[in-house]
Amino acid sequence: MPDAEMTALLQAVFDEVCAEIPLSDTTTRERVSAKLNDLARSGPCSVEDLKRAGRDALTHAPTMWP
């Protein structure tokens, strides 16, 4: 479980990355959130690492097709 400082950082990065994503697009917002949380739990990471992961989640949506 992330500490309060990490939680605040994750929220700030999430807000920045999802600034253009409508609140109604919950699928995309959840994908970004999950990617950020996964990276934060994997070990030390920088703000830039988090932003990159969030942007990657926006541009590399999962697909059913290989």
Q: How confident is the model at residue 50 (pLDDT cuts 50, 70, 90)?
A: very high
Nearest to 10 by CA among 45, 57, 59, 61: 45
Phi-psi map region of 43: left, alpha, beta (phi>0 left; psi -120 to 50 alpha): left
Domain ranges of the chain: 4-59
- pLDDT tens for each residue of 22-41: 999 999 999 999 999 999 99
pTM given for the model? 0.85
